[in-house]
Amino acid sequence: MQGLWRVNQEQGSAGILALINMAVLLVLGGTFITLSVTELDISREYRNGIAAQYLAEAGVQWAIVKLKAKHDYVTASGGSFKSQLKNAGTPTAGIFAVEITGLWNTYKIKSSGIVGDSEKTAARRLAVLAVTPLGVYAFPAYSDSSVNINDGSRVLQGLACSRGPVTAKNESVQGGVRPNQKNFNFPNSTYIDYSASPSLPNLISSGEAVSGLAGIYYVNGDFTVGGSLVTAANSLATIYANGKVIINRDAHITGKLRIISAKEIEVNGNINSAILIACGTGNSLITHSAKIYGSIISRGNLIIDGSVTYDQEVIKAFAPYLGQPFTISAYNDNNFSEEN
């Protein structure tokens, strides 16, 4: 009996050991399965993150192309955009979401690439600072010679700039003055560039209105405006005069307009939303009663007795035609991951 009891005791111990071994194996197996699933999740998140990074970069490039093609794309279409599904039918299918914010010459582009199912979403964001250097167009008043802002005159919403001296009282210029700037190029315009365009008369008399202007026009000789010039709705117009331009006291100019004179410009009336460019070497003048919303750029001396208020919208509208390149001044990559 004693021997039999010993055999049964040994068989019981073996069973317990077997159960323990099975439990250990189950724990190890579960651990390996968990580790495998975790590694798969990590691999998937890493893969989705890389794919999301590429999508985010694609969104940035898409935004840059849109801004190059149409400088006011954001204003015309709003600032937030989502792409259609990219890489459809693959494990890395996803979209990019772009948000463009900023002012007329500085845009900040935020682009997120989103890849994954509803449980896990990987994203990357890039911030791009895109700048259009506008040169002389960045100022309400610019001269290649000198700028003289007399007592009682005002230059608002920006700096008065010149390759030579700038004479002004501090309170006259809201943004201050920038004299002796040698790194700006005066815009080149000649009658050859515009002479084949539709012509306008040399005189727009007081009480006379020329409306619906759109595109490019040419005036052969001096151009005197005593009445009204009005651009068509949502249109830009350029008038090139192969002589001096005089805007009389009763004149009124509205819309987005660019007036280029082969000689000098004298402004006595009101101009709303216009860029004035005087290519002559003589004095260009804004008289005491004159008001300009836009900018005036003169090769010769610029004398201001009235007021100039910088109009960002007209500069923004003409920016694609001003010969200024679109450049990227900064490119920052801020990565993040988020789960839904």
pLDDT value at 107 more than 80: no
pLDDT value at 54 more than 90: no
The two beta strands, 215-219 and 203-204, are unpaired
Residues 170 and 27 in one domain: no
pLDDT at 204: 94
Residues 295 and 162 in one domain: yes
Domain count of the fold of the chain? 2
Selection from 25-39, 128-142, 315-329 with the highest mean pLDDT: 128-142
Residues 141 and 51 in one domain: no
Mean local confidence (pLDDT), 248-262: 91
CA-based R_g, the chain, Å: 34
pLDDT tens figures, 129-150: 655 557 888 889 999 999 999 8
The two beta strands, 228-231 and 252-254, are parallel
Mean local confidence (pLDDT), 196-202: 93
Residues 100 and 217 in one domain: no
Mean local confidence (pLDDT), 325-329: 60
Residues 172 and 90 in one domain: no
How many angstroms separate the CA atoms of 189 and 200, rounded?
A: 18
List, in order, residues 6 or more apart from 117 with CB less than 8 Å away. none
Residues 263 and 332 in one domain: no
Residues 193 and 62 in one domain: no
Of 116 and 256, more confident: 256
Mean local confidence (pLDDT), 315-322: 77
Residues 12 and 113 in one domain: yes
pLDDT at 285: 92
DSSP state at residue 171: G
Give yes or no for a contact between 115 and 50, defined as CB atoms under 8 angstroms apart: no
Of 183 and 25, more confident: 183
H-state helical runs in the chain:
2-69, 73-77, 191-194, 312-318
Residues 163 and 276 in one domain: yes
Catalogue the E-assigned strands of 6-159: 80-82, 94-102, 106-115, 121-131, 141-143, 147-149, 154-156
Q: Which of 92-96, 98-102, 154-158 has the lowest mean pLDDT?
A: 98-102
pLDDT at 336: 45
Residues 148 and 47 in one domain: no
Give yes or no for a contact between 200 and 227, defined as CB atoms under 8 angstroms apart: no
pLDDT tens figures, 270-282: 898 899 999 999 9
With H, G, I as helix, E, B as strand and everything else as coil, classify residue 68.
helix
Mean local confidence (pLDDT), 4-26: 61
Count CB atoms within 10 A of the CB of residue 6.
10
Determine whether 31 is exposed, middle or buried from the number of CB atoms within 10 Å of its CB (0-12, 13-18, 19+). exposed
Q: How confident is the model at residue 339 (pLDDT cuts 50, 70, 90)?
A: very low
pLDDT at 168: 84
Residues 85 and 221 in one domain: no
Residues 141 and 161 in one domain: yes
pLDDT value at 22 more than 80: no
pLDDT at 110: 82
- Would you say how long the chain is, in residues? 340
Q: Which of 64-78, 104-118, 150-164 has the lowest mean pLDDT?
A: 64-78
pLDDT value at 41 more than 90: no
Mean local confidence (pLDDT), 28-57: 72
pLDDT at 297: 95
Count CB atoms within 10 A of the CB of residue 201.
12
pLDDT tens figures, 259-312: 999 999 999 988 988 999 999 999 999 988 899 999 999 999 999 988 999 888
The one-letter code for the residue type at 5 is W
DSSP state at residue 38: H
Q: Model pTM greater than 0.75?
A: no
Mean local confidence (pLDDT), 165-186: 82
Q: What percent of the chain has pLDDT over 70?
A: 72
- The residue segments making up the domain with residue 157 are 137-321
- For the chain, first and last CA: distance in Å? 69
